[in-house]
Structure 1
């Protein structure tokens, strides 16, 4: 079994890279003779990066979008324009909740730039995930309905959804994660981890009855205080992770602590990074 995970776009670049960076995230997973696009960032820049990396996105089998925020979903329409295959889309059944952030008393739309009608018009084979575990391939699962067990992983109170013209706090019930079962343990791919990265990892371990080998993606520690970061890193150590490739919404303070605490098993997962696991 071989696995190849390419970070098509992310907030930062490796030195001397000729790729494009933007606030967003997109991965291509090649495994089980399938191509899976996980998140589509906020524009078509991930497609441009794929071309520079000599990666063909025309024949992607599955698209999985972690949650309904623009920086993970808004490149999807551009992807639909280039795809030449009848791919399947997997999103949570609450993906189309109208998402906003509150800044200086104003509500700013942060949701996706497409709706259910777009999917109908394009005849996109769409699966609305609502089960705890959804099998994508024999080795790849989508995990939903994440349990909230930690006391220190609090969701940013400035995120809202609009229901019947009323703004209520967004609990990110739409958030899903992707897992890959390898002989070394589970690889977990996360979008933003608004629910809490430790909540996610503990839920994954409990549901799939397997240890976690490594994690890739965003952890939303950018707004975490010192205590939450330290508690998170302590849990990473208890889990005995073998690689940590996170970035995006993780934040400079947490990234520095990760580098200091985990040395060679941590890397800042910039745009263009390729992970091969045999």
Structure 2
């Protein structure tokens, strides 16, 4: 069984802290894992409030090299002295922020983080298995990777921003794992516009087509999305694929047998 707890996301409906970012706590085959750490250390406070032990985490995955996913790593390292962080080598690169604000700071991970905690990073590229049933698969964006976890219902795929395109990523994974299906896709889809979370970065018909392809042609039964998807795009997807599109919120728990 795979149990996913959303430690941090852009939205919360309860007392937990939220911020622009994403962090997921995974429990699988008796082990604890972490996917991303949000922008700050706020996910640590949420983990404490939920009774989740970050010191017990055996490994962490950095989905890509942006600070709203790696910003909480120092706080994680302060709580956990042993877990490796699996990232692609290009996660060390410098990346511009996708915004209309010309004064916005770069979006990449602070280079000093890799130097200070060099022994905590496992920077290898290419598809690899990090534990039985848990696989990292890179996509066409040089610093991005998906975490695919095997369950009884099929693969549960986590990719925090899907910069390469959510449908492209799923299609590639179906080729990489012949004979398997992607049961669920969890993460953001980078559909928000340059003017904030309330804006739409794609034409409405493009978003609608994406939703229908994911849940139709590609056979994804459940799509759990939020973060950089944005509310306008989420609404369009929900209308296009009713009963299959679910919004991620801080504190949510997803269970896959």
Q: TM-score, normalised by structure 1?
A: 0.84
Q: Is the 8 A contact 2:191 2:230 kept in 1?
A: yes
Q: How does 1:63-212 map to 2 (within 5 A)?
A: 63-84=60-81, 86-101=82-97, 103=100, 105-106=102-103, 108-113=105-110, 114-120=112-118, 123-124=119-120, 126-131=121-126, 133-144=127-138, 146-147=139-140, 172-209=141-178, 210-212=180-182
- Would the alpha carbon gap of residues 269 and 107 (structure 1) be closer, same or farther in structure 2, given more than 3 Å must change? closer
CA shift at 1:3, angstroms?
A: 1.2
1:24-63 aligned within 5 A? 24-63=21-60
Give me the whole-angstrom Cα distance separating, in 1, the residues matched to 2:236 and 2:219.
Answer: 17
SS at match of 1:100: coil
* 2:207 aligned with 1:229: yes
Alpha-carbon separation, structure 1, partners of 2:101 and 2:60: 35
Deviations 1:151-193 (A, max 9, x none): xxxxxxxxxxxxxxxxxxxxx3100110011121111101111
- The equivalent residue for 1:153 is none
Deviation by residue 1:29-54 (Cα, 9 ceiling, x = unmatched):
11122211000100011011111111
Q: 1:3 matched to which residue of 2?
A: 2
TM-score, normalised to structure 2's length? 0.90
Residue 266 of structure 1, CA deviation: 2.1
Q: What is the CA RMSD across the aligned residues, in angstroms?
A: 1.6
Q: Aligned with 1:40: secondary structure?
A: coil
Matched, 1:219 2:189: yes
**Normalized per residue, which structure has more helix?**
2
Contact 1:32 1:137 (8 Å CA) reproduced:
no
Gaps of 5+ in 2: 193-200
Distance across 2 between alignment mates of 1:265 and 1:240: 11
Specify the alignment match of 2:198 in structure 1: none
The question of 1:272 aligning with 2:251 is answered yes
Supply the distance in 2 between the matched residues of 1:31 and 1:271 (Cα, whole angstroms): 20
Kindly state the Cα deviation for residue 227 of structure 1 after the two structures are TM-superposed.
2.7
The structure number with the bigger radius of gyration is: 1
The answer to whether the 8 A contact 1:96-1:115 is kept is no
Consecutive unaligned residues in structure 1, runs of 5 or more: 148-171
Question: 1:182 and 1:266 mapped to 2: Cα distance?
Answer: 20
Count of aligned residue pairs for this structure pair: 245
2:229 to 250, 253, 256: 250
